[in-house]
């Protein structure tokens, strides 16, 4: 309560920024809709944002490409980037902050000390553990060092994107820097994983608004992903699903089936294994998403998606058997070899058991003679 | 070589045979539909999507067969505790009375095909599963369990019933649906390999040993040498006693 009197609330910050109450209510309604909450939640979120003092955010960037930040600042509603991220809450983020060098580090440490146990740590990027972590250094210190320091006083951690959640491309084989996702390093803090390369901006906004407004984590699934966005596969909300069920597939990208908009399963669509909200929320303010643009889902929000078989075919690659080996090829070769082996064994058995069986047959015939009726 | 007496033995009880053939049918259907799901054929179809339901039907059949497999699997586990001695779990473990000798016989004469010199080796043959086969079946059980776990794991996310939902912990363990599908698909090939060897060896044993291996899974009966039965031992005992008893008439004459 003491903090409340000294710190601005979100609502105050938003109004001070020049937005109207109407803009604010629109924003709240958007967020409630994305989170899949019912109507009455709009009031709850509005109330929470009106009364809650801003929660400081420290946003770290490790091994990554910043596409998560890019996605986030382009999310549907300007208030998200403007208020939540840019002006109000963000005490430290390499990409957006004005301060640099020593000043920036000082500001971060100030926040970490002042709001110990209260701030939210957002992490973009994976952490290299190889060679004592020297592959990623910020302000002269390794990412692993920075992460442990920042995580220590955090109330919760949000792992943005596939890098922080799964490791993404830098952890693809052979993973030269031992890139590691956050949940494998920090075990003693609540972690929300928001995978995707990048995650959808509205999803990121929804997650952070939930955390800020309600002061607790959104409902998570068994892999710690917010249920509101990751409980369905892209396949389950795909508008081409009817073609899938019918068995009507694009066979190659230049065939008439592609023109008719058939299902992209056979040209490698990973929608059936990928948990994400692309089919519902879509991208670029709801303009489209890959499948709508004629390209299969890449599986970007799934663990290890870089190493999970070819992009434009639906194959089951078996790790450890080389690039050309997929389960069906290996299976056919193994079954063929086994069939030959069985055939050879049968011939060998016929030869080696010949005498034995002849003797037995004779004995049987002798018995036949012996039998009376 | 004199006449050998064989007697029928009721080896496979009705539930065992029923489970066997239901399993076989379910697995056949699952393999065929599974391969189709993994790599569907191109349909030459100009109709609207709502008029066809090929993939949907194939998947439906896959899931129906999957439930059959699950139920049979569970019932067979139960039967391993209440069935006859050839059905019990003890059979599937590679140790026990006489197992080493029988194991040696299978490896030497059935796998390596060393010609059998002995006239009589019936005591080295198994009546139920031989030790190599039973170990293979134990592994096959594990393969089926993997299929059930990964299959229902994949299925659970879209199911509303509690039973498939029980398996929702599986995909996170295997790194999501990608890894689960990899295990599901690859294990299918191991099952196919098992089936090739299994069918061949059943025919092999039937031809070489002539004890009714193939028909036993339909009738339930196999044939075993009379020497192996208690009745034979009792009869031998009786004959021995008769021979040892003093024949009094002769003594008096
Ligand atoms: C002997 C048993 C089984 C065999 C041989 C088998 C085989 C297969 C194969 C080859 C696939 C295609 C994988 C791919 O996409 O590449 C598949 C998919 C699948 N199987 Fe099985 N399966 C078996 C048992 C089961 C069981 C017990 C279930 C339980 C419900 C199950 C559920 C599924 C599901 C949900 C899929 C994915 C279907 C989809 O992508 O729409 N399977 N199976
Ligand atoms: S295009 Fe992809 S996500 Fe859509 S129905 Fe086909 S396989 Fe599923
Ligand atoms: S459609 Fe698939 S690959 Fe594309 S963004 Fe969505 S989850 Fe990632």
- Mark whether A51 and A194 lie in a shared domain: yes
Residues of chain B with pLDDT > 90, as a percent, come to 38
Residue A240, domain CATH: 4.10.480.10
Q: What is the distance between the terminal CA atoms of chain A, rounded to a whole angstrom?
A: 107
pLDDT at B202: 92
**Is A243 part of a structural domain of the chain?**
yes
Q: Report which of A180, A171, A79 is spatially closest to residue A123, judged by C-alpha positions.
A: A180
Q: Which ligand is nearest to the CA of A274?
A: 3
- Mark whether A226 and A280 lie in a shared domain: no
More confident residue, A82 or A194: A194
pLDDT at A1: 31
- Mark whether A172 and A306 lie in a shared domain: no
Residue A5 clears pLDDT 50, i.e. is over it: no
CB A120 within 8 A of CB A58: yes
Question: Which residues span the domain enclosing A343?
Answer: 327-370
pLDDT at B79: 92
**Is A321 part of a structural domain of the chain?**
no
Distance CA A209, CA A203 (A): 10
pLDDT at B29: 97
Burial class (CB in 10 A: 0-12, 13-18, 19+), A32: buried
Residue A195 near chain B (CB below 8 Å): no
Q: Omega before B84 cis (within 30°)?
A: no
pLDDT at B110: 78
pLDDT digits (tens, 9 = 90+) for A45-89: 898 888 888 788 888 899 999 898 888 888 767 677 776 666 555
- Mark whether A292 and A187 lie in a shared domain: no
Lookup: tokens for A190? 């609540």
Residue A369 near chain B (CB below 8 Å): no
CB of A298 shorter than 6 A to ligand 3? yes
Which residue reads 């009721």 in tokens? Answer: B10
More confident residue, A6 or A102: A102
Choose one of A213, A230, A247: the last residue of a domain: A230
What are residue A190's phi and psi, to 5 degrees?
Answer: -65, 130
- Mark whether A176 and A290 lie in a shared domain: no
Residue A345 clears pLDDT 90, i.e. is over it: no
CB A251 within 8 A of CB A269: no
Instruction: Please choose from A278, A302, A309 the residue to mutate so as to test ligand 3's pocket, defined by most ligand atoms within 8 A of CB.
Output: A278
pLDDT band at A3 (very low <50, low <70, confident <90, very high): very low
Residue B15, domain CATH: 1.20.950.20
**Is A272 part of a structural domain of the chain?**
yes
More confident residue, A154 or B43: A154
Average pLDDT, chain A: 85
**Is B1 part of a structural domain of the chain?**
no
- Mark whether A212 and A89 lie in a shared domain: yes
pLDDT band at A4 (very low <50, low <70, confident <90, very high): very low
Number of domains in chain A: 3
- Mark whether A206 and A92 lie in a shared domain: yes
**Is A322 part of a structural domain of the chain?**
no
Burial class (CB in 10 A: 0-12, 13-18, 19+), B113: middle
Angle at A321 between CA A317 and CA A323, to 5 degrees: 60
Mean local confidence (pLDDT), B130-155:
92
Lookup: tokens for A220? 């998570």
Which residue reads 């098992």 in tokens? Answer: B194
From B198's Cα to the closest Cα of chain A, the distance in A is 10
Number of domains in chain B: 1
Mean local confidence (pLDDT), A158-184:
92
Q: Give me the DSSP letters along A226-267.
A: BHHHHSSBGGGG-TTHHHHHHT-B-SSTTSHHHHHT-B-GGG
Highest mean pLDDT, choosing among A89-93, A313-317, B150-154, B226-230: B150-154
CB of A296 shorter than 6 A to ligand 2? yes
Question: Which residues span the domain enclosing B69?
Answer: 6-43+51-252
Residue A244 clears pLDDT 70, i.e. is over it: yes
- Mark whether A238 and A293 lie in a shared domain: yes
**Is B71 part of a structural domain of the chain?**
yes
pLDDT band at B6 (very low <50, low <70, confident <90, very high): confident
CB of B185 shorter than 6 A to ligand 1? yes
- Mark whether A236 and A256 lie in a shared domain: yes
Residue A140 clears pLDDT 80, i.e. is over it: yes
Residue A189 clears pLDDT 80, i.e. is over it: yes
pLDDT digits (tens, 9 = 90+) for B175-216: 889 899 999 999 999 999 999 999 999 998 888 877 888 888
Q: How far is the CA of A107 from the centre of ligand 3 (A)?
A: 36
CB of A61 shorter than 6 A to ligand 2? no
- Mark whether A221 and A257 lie in a shared domain: no
Count other C-beta atoms under 10 Å from residue A41's C-beta: 20
From A353's Cα to the closest Cα of chain B, the distance in A is 6
How high is the ipTM of this complex?
0.82
Residue A26, domain CATH: 3.40.50.700
**Is B187 part of a structural domain of the chain?**
yes
Helix or strand holding residue A61 (H, E): strand A57-61
Each residue of A236-270: b (16+ CB within 10 Å) or e? ebbebbbbbbbbbbbeeeeeebbeebbbbbbbbbb
CB A180 within 8 A of CB A162: no
What are residue B144's phi and psi, to 5 degrees?
Answer: -65, -40
CB B83 within 8 A of CB B128: no
């Amino acid at each position: 309560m003491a903090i409340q009197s000294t710190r601005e609330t979100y609502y105050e910050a938003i109004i001070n920024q020049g937005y109207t109450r109407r803009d604010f209510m629109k924003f709240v309604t958007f967020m409630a809709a994305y989170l899949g909450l019912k109507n009455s939640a709009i009031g709850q979120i509005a109330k929470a944002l009106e009364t809650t003092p801003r929660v400081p955010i420290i946003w770290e960037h490790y091994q990554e490409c910043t596409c998560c930040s890019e996605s986030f600042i382009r999310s549907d509603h300007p208030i998200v980037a403007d208020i939540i991220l840019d002006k109000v809450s963000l005490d430290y983020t390499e990409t957006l902050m004005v301060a640099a060098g020593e000043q920036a580090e000082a500001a971060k440490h100030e926040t970490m000390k002042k709001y110990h146990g209260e701030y939210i740590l957002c992490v973009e990027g994976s952490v290299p553990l190889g060679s004592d972590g020297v592959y990623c250094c910020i302000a002269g210190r390794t990412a692993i060092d920075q992460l442990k320091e920042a995580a220590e006083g955090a109330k919760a951690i949000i792992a943005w994107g596939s890098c922080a959640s799964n490791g993404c491309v830098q952890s693809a084989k052979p993973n030269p820097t031992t890139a590691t996702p956050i949940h494998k390093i920090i075990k003693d803090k609540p972690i929300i994983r928001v995978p995707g390369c990048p995650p959808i901006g509205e999803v990121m906004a929804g997650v952070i608004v939930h955390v800020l407004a309600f002061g607790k984590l959104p409902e998570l699934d068994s892999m710690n992903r917010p249920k509101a966005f990751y409980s369905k596969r892209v396949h389950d909300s795909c508008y081409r699903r009817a073609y899938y069920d019918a068995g009507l597939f694009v066979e190659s990208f230049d065939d008439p089936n592609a023109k008719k908009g058939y299902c992209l399963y056979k040209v490698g669509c990973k929608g059936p294994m990928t948990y994400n909200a692309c089919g519902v929320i879509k991208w670029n303010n709801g303009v489209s998403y890959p499948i709508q643009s004629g390209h299969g889902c890449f599986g970007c929000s799934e663990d290890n998606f870089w190493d999970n078989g070819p992009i434009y075919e639906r194959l089951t690659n078996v790790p450890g058997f080389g690039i050309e080996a997929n389960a069906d090829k290996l299976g056919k070769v193994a079954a063929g070899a086994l069939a030959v082996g069985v055939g050879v064994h049968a011939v060998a058995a016929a030869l080696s058991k010949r005498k034995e069986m002849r003797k037995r047959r004779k004995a049987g015939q002798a018995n036949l003679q012996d039998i009376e009726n | 070589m004199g006449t050998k007496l064989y007697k029928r033995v009721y080896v496979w009880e009705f539930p065992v045979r029923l489970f066997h053939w239901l399993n076989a049918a379910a697995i056949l259907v699952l393999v065929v539909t599974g391969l189709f799901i993994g790599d569907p054929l191109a349909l030459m179809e100009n109709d609207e999507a709502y008029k066809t339901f090929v993939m949907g039907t194939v998947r439906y059949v896959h899931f129906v067969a999957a439930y059959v497999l699950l139920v049979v699997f569970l019932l067979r586990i139960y039967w391993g505790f209440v069935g006859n001695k050839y059905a019990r779990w003890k059979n599937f473990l590679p140790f026990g009375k006489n197992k080493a000798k029988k194991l040696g016989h299978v490896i030497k004469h059935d796998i390596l095909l060393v010609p059998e010199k002995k006239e009589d080796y019936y005591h080295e043959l198994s009546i139920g599963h031989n030790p190599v086969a039973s170990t293979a079946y134990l592994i096959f059980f594990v393969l089926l369990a993997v299929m059930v776990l990964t299959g229902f794991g994949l299925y659970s996310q879209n199911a509303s019933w509690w039973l498939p939902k029980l398996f929702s912990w599986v995909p996170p363990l295997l790194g999501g649906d990608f890894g689960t599908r990899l295990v599901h698909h690859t294990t299918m090939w191991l099952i196919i390999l098992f089936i090739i060897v299994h069918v061949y060896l059943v025919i092999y044993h039937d031809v070489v040993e002539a004890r009714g291996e193939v028909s036993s899974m339909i009738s339930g009966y196999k044939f075993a040498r009379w020497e192996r039965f208690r009745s034979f031992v009792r009869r031998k005992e009786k004959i021995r006693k008769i021979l040892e008893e003093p024949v009094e008439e002769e003594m008096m004459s």
